[in-house]
Every structure is written in C-alpha cells, then in structure tokens.
Chain A
C-alpha cells in the first residue's frame, strides 16, 4: 500500500492545488503535502517494510494485459526516499520565489512528484511508461510557462528530445510485449524473455537511446544545459536532482536485466562513450560563465561516470551507482539552492558580474564551499563513497578507461574551485555591494542537506546496504 500512497498523495494534493488562487496559492499546501509524503515514505521504508506493505497489484488495462502493479525493492526504496526528501527541501528553499499563478505551478510540481514516484515503483512496463510520461509532461508546462527568456525554444527542444526517446522506448516495450508468451507487461515476464542476440542488439538501442537522452549521456545531452538554464529553479532542481536518476534507474531496472547479452556486447562502446562525455563536459564546464550552466555540465560529467559504472558490469560499480544516485541528488540540489539564492538576491548568475560575496554572506559561502567539495567527492562527504566504488568498479572493468576517467577528478576540482573563487572570493563588485545573508528558510534547507552530506559521508553503510538486493539480482543476471 505504501507505494500507492506515495503516488496518490502528491497526485491528489496536486490536483487540488490547481484550484488554489491568490498570490501564494498552493505554496504552503505543497510544502505540507510534500512533508506528509516524506513521513509516509520514511514510515514505509523503515517501519512498515514487510513485502505486503510495499507491493500492490490490481487490474488496470485488462484488455491489453497491463496491471497496476507496484512494488519497492532496495533501489526503489532509495529513490522514493530521495524524491520524498527532495521535494520539501526544494519547496522550502524556493519559498521566497514568487510565481505567477502559483497554484498551477505547485500543482504541476506535485504531479511531477507523483510521476517520479510511479516510475520508481512500477513493476509493470506499461505502467512504467505511463508514469514516465506523467513525470515529463508537467515539466514541459513548468518550463514553458515559468521559465526564462528563451523558454519556448528550449522547452520545444527538450520536448522533442525526450519525446523521440519515449517513442523509441514505446516501440521497444511493445515489441517485448508481443514476445511474451502470455502477452503481459509484467516485469517478471519481461525478465523471463529469452531473446536471440539479434533481437537483443536491436531492441537494446531503442530503449537505451530513450534512457541515454534522459540521463543524459554524451552526445544526447545538448537539451540539458539549456533546459536547466531556462527552467524555473525549482523545476531545475527536480530535473537534475531526481529526474536524471530516472534514466539511470531505467537502465538498471528495464535494460540491463532484459538484454544481458546486448549489455555485455555493447558495454565497451558505452563505457568509452560515457568517459568521453565525462571529460568533454568537464572541459566545457571550465569555460562556463553562468552558474546554472556550470552545474549542468558538471552534472553531465557525474552522470557519465554513473553510466560507465553500470556498464562495467560488476557489483562494486553498481553499488557505487546506487549510492551515488542518492548522493548526487542531494548535492546537486544543494548547488541549485545556492545558485537560486544568488540569482534571486543579486539578479545575475554570471561569474563575471559576481565576486566577494563571502564578505557579505559568510554563511552562504561556507555552505556553498561544503556543497562544492561534496560535488568534487572530497572524502567524508557523501559523494566520495559512491565515486570511490564506481571508479573501483570501472577499474576492474578496464584500467586505462579508469585512468582517463580519473582526469575528470582533476578537472572537477578546477571548475568547482573556479566557481567558488569567482562568486565568493576577491573584492566585492557592483552586484554584490549590497548583498545580504540568505534567508532562514534557505539556510535551513542547506543545513539539512549539509547534515545529510556529512552523515552519509562518514557512515554510508546503511545506504550501501539498502540496495543490496537490487545489486544482487542484477549481477546474477549478468
């Protein structure tokens, strides 16, 4: 029942929020709803976590043999937790942002949350596809209605990219559906499929491109910096904190176990592609002059590592991916919150127009430094554990690839410290002359994230153990 609750809560509150008028309509409502969802998620994951609580199955589209069946394994739990934790923090940190027609804004945000949770718990492929689209469609509206100057063009690009991916995936899903003996979309029937090598090699790409666009990995990534830059920051946080995890999640859940042969066959190609993407994105990040675009490219680099570690095909790497999915979500949301705080207050995101903020807002500076060092995986921050495991897995796959991928560690330090330096150090400039310390809400959100970063960095074992069952299941298929 827990997964159903986790989907229904934001769905219903979201629909209600559409009817909330007024300047800040839905703001408090959405925050309350997301906190309630968080409580349900915590309860479901740590207290009522018997299998009976965590699965639910009822008939849905009987005519095509699709059922509304949901369930949570370790990875599902972890990502539901990430979703549930992120939304209150996002709402809290952006509570000073004012959106026109805010009832609809928060309604769409909550619908996205429902869709995301659905993606992570669905154990029926058609249901998965349904939630996948449910999560994406509100984002199109969020971006096109509340985004920046170039929002229409950017939304259009984002839409075309993801929609092409979705269609390819749909073709793949339907093909698999017709291959199942009982014509069903159930995950266990998909896993039981015995596909020939040719079938695997073709259908693999249909699904992979869809997920690769969503992650995104090089060279399917160009929608991402634009979308991150132009979306309202709250949406960007969802996009980069949680939604890119959808792609990685989908690869682990719906690609690798169904196409084990093709996964192995193309693993070298994809790993090399991912590593190229890492270096490429890191290099471009060095030259960015905009906080948002820098974080976007940094995110591409990190995702590249995760993709490479999945296709390295060993348990250590996969464990690292699991841990990192959660941790990257937290870290990148933290970075966005800082970016948002700066943009809201100073009205610019350009490094060339910033500087010396540490004198005016020391607390913000300290929190950003923590986020920044978590972003470059300093030990005793959460990201270190994941990156350590992922690089380790990659190392077992291929030494040279790891060495090249390791360059991104160095480049990561370069661009992250560039950012810290250009925003916070040096002397104040016109834009930062009258800057003030950040508000209490933002501080609270960042402190919560900081605590999570440190705790999970010092004692990551619970998080590692959470996904043991998923990793074991995936590796046994390999």
Chain B
C-alpha cells in the first residue's frame, strides 16, 4: 500500500505544472478545478495511507539515490508512518479546503494571476508534503526550503506593492537564518553518524556524546525558530500577512509554520538525549507565547491579531516539545490547524465582505450580515480560548499538564498566556461582530455573506474545531487518548511525567475559569464600546510590537548596510583597487621622473657615467668593507 506514497506529492506537482504552464490559456474555473482536484486526490491517497499505517504500521519507500558519495548516501526516500501520515491528512485535508475557498476568494484576479496563484499554492503543498514525507533530513530540508520559497512567492503575490515585497523578502531571509542552523545540524549528523536517514540516526543516537546531541538539537532548533517563528526570528510572520488571506490560513497558520514542531517531534529521540536543549526549547516557546500574546492585545488589523496569535500558539507547541509532551505538541498542531485555519478563513470572509478592509475599528455588528461566518468564527474563538469541550481545550490542557509536571512556573506563565489568548480573541470577536457597524454606508450596503465555496470550508473546519479534540480526550475525563496510542511507536514517552488526577483536575479548572473570565471581560468591555483611538502609554508599546522591528533594524540591518557600504566604497575602491591602481600609477610616475634624466646635455651623461665608474671601483676594491657596514646597519 505504501508503494502509492509517491502519488501524494505527485498530484500537487502535476497541478503546479499544468496551472503554471497553462495559466494564460486555461479558464479560471478549470484552473480552480485542477488546483483543488490535485489536492483532493492527494487527500484521498493520504486517507488510504493513514488507515494502512494504522493497521500495519509504517514503512520506508526508497526511489533513487539523490546524492551518493562514498562516505554517505542520501536516498530520495519517503517514510510513511504514524507521524507523517497524520501530517499528510492535515496538509492535504486543510489544503483542499483552502484551495476550494480560494477559488471563490480570488475570483477577482485576472486568469493569468489566478493560474499563478494556484500554481504557487500547489507547489507549496508539494513542498510541504516532501518535508513531511522525507525519510531523511536532506529530503526534509528540500521541502523545508521549498515551502520557504513558496511562502516568499505567495507573500509577494501582489508584487506591485513594494511593502509586500519587503515582507516576502524578510520572510525568506529570516527563514534562511534558520536554515543555516538546520544545515549545520545536518552536517554535524553526517560527520558523526555518516547518515541522515531517520531510522539510522535514531538507532545510533545513543552513540552521540552529550555535547554532540546538544549541539545538533540546538542547531535544529535554530532551524525551527526560523520556520516556526519563535523568538528571535518571529518578526517575519506578522508581516507575512501581506499575502492573500487563504495563504495566511494555509501556510502561516495551519501547515508551514508547524514544520518546526514536526521536525522536533520527528527528532524526539535526539532531543531526549539533550536535556539542555529541551529546557531551551521550553523557555523560548513559553517566552514567545507570552510575548506574542501581549502584542496581540493591541493590534487592530484583523489578520495581525491572528498572526500574533499563531506565533503565540506555536510557542505553546514548543513548550510542549520542551517538556517532553511530544504527543501534546502534535495534538496541538492538529487542533490549531483546524481552528486557526477556520479563524483565518473567517477573517478572509469578513475582509471579502468588507471589500478588503482589515481594520477591526471599521467593522462591528457583522453578526447579522454574516451569520455563517459569525457562528463559525465564534466556534473557532472558543476552541482557541480552550473552552471545553472544544478541540483547543484538550490539546492545550495536555501541554499545560506536562508543563506543570516539569515546573509549576512553566504552567503559571502558560495559563496567563491562555487567559491573554482568550482575551484578545474575544476582543477581536466582539469588536468585529458585536455592537454597531462603524464602516461607510457604501460598505454597509455591500455587506453580504460569502458564497458557498467559502462557507463550506468554514463549516467543515468549524465542525473539526469543535470535535477535533475527541481523538485526544485524556483518561481522567474518561477518554482513551487515541492519538497518544496511535503515535506511541514514533514519539518517545519516557520523559512524560504523570501528575495526580486531582491536581490535573485543579489545573484544568483553573485555566478554564481564567479563560472564561477573560472572555466575559472582553465581551463586556468591547461589544458596546470598542477602543477606536490609538493606544497610548504602555498600550502604545504593545501596539508597536515592543519596537522589536525597530530594534532589529538598528542592531542588524543598519550596521550590516553600513559595513557593506564601507567595504564597497572604502576597502574595495580605495583599498584593494587603490593598491592595484597605485602600482600602475607608481610605474607611471617613476617613468615620468626617470625621463628627466635624459636631458640631452652631454656633460650630465658623462658625469653620471663617471660617478657610476667610481661607485663600481669602490665596490670592487672595498666589497668586504661595504658588506660589513651593511651587516652592521641591519
């Protein structure tokens, strides 16, 4: 069965080629059908594979040798196992819904650009599938860079806008910083173990010294920081909202940004050997979660709020990874993919209805005009806020419980963040959907619910957001945590701590109560009287994202530019080229001076001749004396 795995990435690739090459000749509906159909086909194959894996376990399918030099071999091989098949379902499933949504959302584009859009989107899914399916780190890296490329192309999809281009470039360059870490980790693995195959690496991981394991995992984590937008490499993600909204939903919420979590979960055997890195991952994750949540409170762009929320949720996942709750992290990836895709698509629906207005201060009261969007959005907000029995509750709770077992401080910060999350999400909800409409009359006149191609994905995702948690109901709530059992062959559980049931109940209750209070406060405060003025005081710092972009500009970008200018103008032009040209000028100058000796005066010539003879005679007779004198001088 797993022989079929090549079909999964093949369909999107074919879709990419058809849409990319035929974008000028195909009609829009055909492009949409090809683009979405390719992903649907992949989804079907993924489903087949998933149940196959569930029944018979995973396997590795090798196609050809990608790189084969004597000291090591890198096969172009796919690994289908519990972890990758789960990700396949998420990617192709949500991918399909978002493709479907895009056919309607992007229908105003010219056919040529419409084709380009779907080609990029297909290419993205192809790269993402490579990333997940690869049976070694190099294939993963291929997908890793591939999704970076597609992210770049899609963020800069509306390429006429310079700011969007800068955002795209920023995303790519920041990702590349992480990629360098990833690449160095791969080299380190090759040097120490002579292979990059997951199976061989993890089997031999015990041979690694503690130092090696720590360095490798840290470098891999640097890669994850770039891709999954963690401190200090997170600033690209909010800017990436320049792309079309479905792209934000697919790439910058549901799939690509979780690649880092996938990578660390995949390498859990290595991370278990490096407690230092685990602490690092947990602390960075937690810091990012809190930090991004504080920024989200004061954002007024509907997509920016969701972007910071994504960064924050990703931080949660890293917290889970850092405290050894790999299953919890993957679980949260899944539920987050559901509800965050839902929220982004809902936001897209709102933006669509509002004619590309993204500022929530211009909205309000959309509840009546957009009933389906409103309901699904509300469900998404409840899921992300961690209200039982929505999906987010179970995954978030699992991470928090594991964090408590590691250290109550982790738990404390995590719960505060959860409260903030509930608060800013419902601030967003209340400002957008409740109260009175604050936009122009024209906008109000045109307000309409989105077409069914957009609402169907919303409904499907809403159902998933509500019920998605059921696969991981913990035992204390009477569940079996089927996801845990499913993933147990891949994810080590040896580091999972267990806490007493009544403590766990207490923790759950605390976080739910906090979230409920935050929701009540947010709705109470913003439904009637939303904040319309620009923030001041501390709020201004938050609204300006703690001035981190300005800080990076001052400590990285500008010095780099200054150095580059210095090298170009001073070192290169005056320095090295100056020396080279200087040699030429010296020859020129000295020849001009020497020319003057030829005065044409016979007397001068003779004088020089005579002096020359005298010198020669002196040297001839007194050579030893002269040599001694020179010896004394030096």
Contact = CB atoms under 8 A, between A and B. Distances in A.
Interface of A: 157, 160-161, 219, 221-223, 280, 283-284, 286-288, 315-316, 319, 356, 358-359, 362, 369, 373, 378-380, 384-385, 388-389, 391-392, 395-396, 399, 402-403, 406-407, 409-410, 413-414, 417-418, 421, 424-427, 459-461, 464
Interface centre among B67, B138, B180, B191 (most CB of A within 10 A): B67
Chain A facing B: main interface SS? helix
Given A160-B584, A283-B568, 5 more contacts: A222-B572, A284-B568, A316-B69, A425-B162, A461-B65
A395 B564 contact: no
Contacts of A288: 568
A391 B141 contact: no
Contact of B187 (A219, A362, A391): A391
A319 B69 contact: yes
A413 B173 contact: yes
A369 B119 CA distance: 15
Given A222-B576, A287-B568, A379-B146, A425 B180 contact: no
B160 interface: yes
B561 interface: yes
B561 A402 contact: no
B564 A403 contact: no
Contact of A427 (B145, B160, B563, B577): B160
Contact of A461 (B67, B173, B568): B67
Interface in B175-222: 176-177, 179-180, 183-184, 187-188, 190-191
A394 to B, nearest CB: 9
Contacts of B156: 421, 425
Given A402-B187, A418-B169, A283 B564 contact: yes
Q: How large is the interface on B (under 10, 10 to 19, 20 to 34, 35 or more residues)?
A: 35 or more
B214 to A, nearest CB: 14
24 contacts: A157-B584, A160-B584, A222-B572, A280-B571, A283-B568, A284-B572, A286-B560, A287-B564, A315-B70, A315-B71, A373-B149, A379-B142, A388-B138, A392-B187, A395-B190, A403-B184, A410-B177, A413-B176, A414-B173, A417-B169, A425-B165, A426-B162, A461-B65, A464-B67
A464 B68 CA distance: 8
Contacts of A280: 567, 571
B381 to A, nearest CB: 36
Interface centre among A380, A384, A409 (most CB of B within 10 A): A380
B567 A284 contact: yes
Contacts of A362: 112
Contacts of B616: none
B186 to A, nearest CB: 8
B191 A396 contact: yes
Nearest to B166: A421
A407 B568 CA distance: 18
B172 interface: yes
Contacts of A396: 191
B580 interface: yes
Nearest to B169: A417
Contacts of B67: 385, 388-389, 460-461, 464
A280 B566 CA distance: 11
Nearest to B584: A160
Contacts of A426: 159-162, 165
A316 B194 CA distance: 12
B598 to A, nearest CB: 25
Contacts of A427: 160
B147 to A, nearest CB: 11
Interface centre among A358, A379, A410 (most CB of B within 10 A): A379
Nearest to A226: B577
